[in-house]
């Protein structure tokens, strides 16, 4: 079997997880031929796991230029995602990036442009798109089964984290190191799934609380209100400060309602259009007949599924479930939430990328995270995209 020679850049929690999945035989169409991390200890650990034949590098540039790989999987801190992707595309490599696509859309837009010109496969690790419940909901919406959208609500508050979690890495939960908090670390999957099934809202109004439950400089509690082009509304609520928390998604259309919690999907089917019934019924308290269908799904959402799809796209021309160019969609919404909370007002989409970038730079300047290589990276990005 032909295999994709994969270089893994970044050997933190996610990078190590990808190695373990690979060693467990979950990615039969790839071969990890090279690894990279700026931390020699992490690099040595990766070599021990993968064996003596794997090539190792302390620099992403060296790995990219090595000739050892056909593709790279980027699992570094967020700021590096677009810059490493650009270097890889310019060297003729395929790219799979961990989420998020970056910290701000100006950098990601540039990466998308380079990817498009390269002709190479570009994927992003939105592994939650493999969840059967959301795939079914998306199909129902596309088929018109639920009618026009009225409202979508996601309460995703089961991201509880302790202070010890945030203390585990100096870059965590800082503007200079991570670029945000719960929106950029825990919630990119949820923000992506919501736009994947509902579309991108036309404007956003968010209240974000910074260090509300933890000693951190970024957001750990957010409530955001969406408005869509057709007049539908949305609500997105998240935090890392509640326990046990809730994970419940509701989609209400003109012909039905879907509720997704865990592996369970409840579909309330309405016999006719609510809009038509509202206009034409002669009963003041009229009610329509409903039929309830309940589906139990396997959880899905595994990282190996995205990697296997990525390999199939390279080897066989398969369609990507999670194209890298779509990473900008969820990030646009996330940036809009941050910007809305900073200016205490509505933010229209398309986003004012310059305004967001300028305000983010002020946050970075005052960040507690001032590691030299990150500051230099941010400075380089400013020269490129500013």
Q: What is the pLDDT of residues 182-227, one digit of tens each?
A: 999 999 999 999 999 999 999 999 999 999 999 999 999 999 999 9
Determine the number of helices (DSSP H) and then strands (DSSP E) in the chain. 13, 15
pLDDT band for position 1 (50/70/90)? low
DSSP state of 77: -
Please determine, for residue 379, whether its predicted confidence score (pLDDT) is greater than 70.
no
For 350, other C-beta atoms within 10 Å of its C-beta total 10
Please, what is the Cα angle at 106 between 89 and 330, to 5 degrees? 90
Q: pLDDT tens, 43-67? A: 999 999 999 899 999 999 999 999 9
For residue 27, what are the CA distances in angstroms to 21, 308, 379?
Answer: 7, 6, 37
DSSP string, 111-180: HHHHHHHHT--EEE--GGGG-HHHHHHHHHHHTTTT-SEEEEEEEE------HHHHHT-TTTT-TTTTS-
Q: Using one digit for the tens of pLDDT, what is the confidence trace for 78-98?
A: 999 999 999 999 999 999 999
Residue 169: per-residue pLDDT: 76
pLDDT, position 238 = 98
Contact of 130 with 46, CB cutoff 8 Å: no
* Residue among 123, 27, 30, 130 nearest 81 (CA): 123
User: What are the pLDDT digits (tens) for 226-273?
Assistant: 999 999 999 999 999 999 999 999 999 999 999 999 889 999 999 999
- C-alpha pair distances (Å), 181 with each of 57, 224, 238, 307, 331: 30, 15, 11, 26, 13
The span from the CA of 284 to the CA of 338, in Å, is 43
Residues belonging to the chain: 386
187 close to 218: Cβ distance less than 8 angstroms? no
Residue located via tokens 């200079």: 176
Structure tokens at 213: 């439950």
Token pair recorded at residue 3: 């295999």
Q: Show the domains of the chain with their CATH numbers.
A: 4-126+303-324 (3.40.50.720), 129-296 (3.30.360.10)
> Is it the case that residue 359 has pLDDT exceeding 70?
yes
Identify the residue whose tokens are 């020699």: 40
Per-residue pLDDT, averaged over 25-53, amounts to 97
pLDDT at 381: 36
CA distance 158 to 13: 20
pTM of the full structure: 0.93
User: What is the pLDDT at residue 179?
Assistant: 96
Quote the mean pLDDT of the chain.
Answer: 94
């Amino acid at each position: 079997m032909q295999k994709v020679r994969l270089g893994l850049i970044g050997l933190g929690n996610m990078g190590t997880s990808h190695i373990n999945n690979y060693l467990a035989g979950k990615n039969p169409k790839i071969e990890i031929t090279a690894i990279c991390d700026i931390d020699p200890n992490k690099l040595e650990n990766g070599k021990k796991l993968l064996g003596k034949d794997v090539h190792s590098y302390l620099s992403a540039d060296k790995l990219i230029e090595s000739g050892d790989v056909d593709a790279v999987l980027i699992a570094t801190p967020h700021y590096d995602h677009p810059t490493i992707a650009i270097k890889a595309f310019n060297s003729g490599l395929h790219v799979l990036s961990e989420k998020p696509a970056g910290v701000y859309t100006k950098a990601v837009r540039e990466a998308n442009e380079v990817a498009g010109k390269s002709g190479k496969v570009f994927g992003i690790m939105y592994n939650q798109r493999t969840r059967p419940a959301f795939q079914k909901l998306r199909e129902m919406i596309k088929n018109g089964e639920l009618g026009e959208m009225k409202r979508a609500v996601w309460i995703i508050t089961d991201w509880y984290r302790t202070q010890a979690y945030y203390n585990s890495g100096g870059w965590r939960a800082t503007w200079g190191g991570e670029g945000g908090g719960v929106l950029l670390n825990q919630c990119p999957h949820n923000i992506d799934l919501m736009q994947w099934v509902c579309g991108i809202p036309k404007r956003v109004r968010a209240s974000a609380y910074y260090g509300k439950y933890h000693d951190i400089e970024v957001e750990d509690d957010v409530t955001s209100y969406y408005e869509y082009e057709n007049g539908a509304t949305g609500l997105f609520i998240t935090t890392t400060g509640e326990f046990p928390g809730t994970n419940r998604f509701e989609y209400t259309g003109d012909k039905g309602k879907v509720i997704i919690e865990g592996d369970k999907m409840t579909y309330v089917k309405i016999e006719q259009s609510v809009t038509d019934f509202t206009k034409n019924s002669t009963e003041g308290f009229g009610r329509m007949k409903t039929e309830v269908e309940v589906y139990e799904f396997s959880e899905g959402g595994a990282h190996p599924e995205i990697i296997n799809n990525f390999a199939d796209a390279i080897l066989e021309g398969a369609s990507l479930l999670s194209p890298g160019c779509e990473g900008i969609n969820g990030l646009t919404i996330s940036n809009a939430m941050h910007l809305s909370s900073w200016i205490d007002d509505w933010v229209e989409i398309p986003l004012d990328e310059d305004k967001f970038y300028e305000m983010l730079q002020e946050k970075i300047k005052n960040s507690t995270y001032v590691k030299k290589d990150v500051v230099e990276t941010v400075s380089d990005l400013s020269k490129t995209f500013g």
